[in-house]
Amino acid sequence: MRISVLGASGRTGRQVVEQALEAGHEVVAFVRRPEALDALCERLTVVQGDVLDAERVSEAVAGADAVVSALGPRRDSPEAMLTRGMANVVAAMKEHGVRRLIVLTGAGVRLENDPTSPGRSIMLGLLGLLAPSALRDSQGAVEVIRASGLAWTVIRVPRLSDGRKTGRVRSGALRLGPGHAISRADVAAFVLEQLADDRFMQQAPMVAPAGR
């Protein structure tokens, strides 16, 4: 399978790239700084660009069987970067006839009928105070995805760690709070599982380590 990975040089995106290559997939890495991928560049196709550049996004998406976005807000991000960038991604996918889209976002993004808990209320309150613009942008990007008509899955993650891959992940309508965390390696593995699984098609599951 040919997979276009957006945000491929980030810590989570790199995990997706490495695990996809190990699984035998062909990978197109869309990055702002190709040098951040170092030796991996020899094993994949690199498209340099910014998600706000529609032409470069189109180049990265062309010929893909699926698109994975590991993009996240940065401190120096332009206003509504994720929302505007995701509109470019959706347009490029429609242009090139690519249907499958898997997107990582934070657990603070809300959907109708999400379960509630004191921990989740605390987490949402903290995010609203500490990172309101990033939260609004992430929420806006998800609304673009939900209105796209594509075969999308949004994976909502709590705090990320650099721990090892355990293969033990629970998913669905979880009550995540500020104490939850999951390794980037486990998230990447879960992302790649979705390429062959339609259980969460047009849904936005939360993920966490099993047993928490």
pLDDT 10s digits, 43-98:
999 999 999 999 999 999 999 999 999 998 777 778 899 999 999 999 999 999 99
The model's pLDDT over 28-57, given as tens digits with 9 standing for 90+, comes to: 999 999 998 988 888 999 999 999 999 999
Residue 201 clears pLDDT 60, i.e. is over it: yes
| Residues 16, 21, 22: CA angle, nearest 5 degrees | 100
CA–CA dist 89, 17 (Å, integer):
18
Does residue 149 surpass a pLDDT of 60? yes
So what's the pLDDT on residue 120? 65
Residues 6+ apart with CB under 8 A from 154: 103, 104, 105, 109, 142, 145, 146, 203, 204
| Per-residue model confidence (pLDDT) at position 174 | 81
Does this model's pTM top 0.85? My answer is yes
CATH code: domain 2-209 is: 3.40.50.720
Average of pLDDT values for 5-19? 96
- What pLDDT is attached to residue 89? 98
Share of the chain above pLDDT 70, in %: 90
Give the contacts of 86 (CB within 8 A, at least 6 positions apart): 51, 69, 103, 141, 144, 145
**Confidence check: pLDDT of 119 > 90:** no
What's the CA gap between 173 and 142, in Å, rounded?
Answer: 16
Question: For position 133, what pLDDT does the model report?
Answer: 79
Average pLDDT, the chain: 90
CA dihedral 132, 201, 43, 30 (to 10 degrees): -40
Return the pLDDT at 39.
Answer: 82
**DSSP per position, 136-161:** HHHHHHHHHHHTS-SEEEEEEE-EEE
- In the predicted model, is pLDDT for residue 157 greater than 80? yes
CA angle 96-201-62, nearest 5°? 15
Q: How confident is the model at residue 107 (pLDDT cuts 50, 70, 90)?
A: confident
Q: Which positions ≥6 away from 98 have C-beta within 8 Å?
A: 4, 61, 64, 65, 66, 67, 92
Higher pLDDT, 132 or 83: 83
The whole-angstrom separation of Cα 169 and Cα 162 is 15
Chain centroid to Cα 173, Å, comes to: 18
Write the single-letter amino acid at 41. Answer: C
Residue 118 has pLDDT above 70, yes or no: no
pLDDT at 16: 97
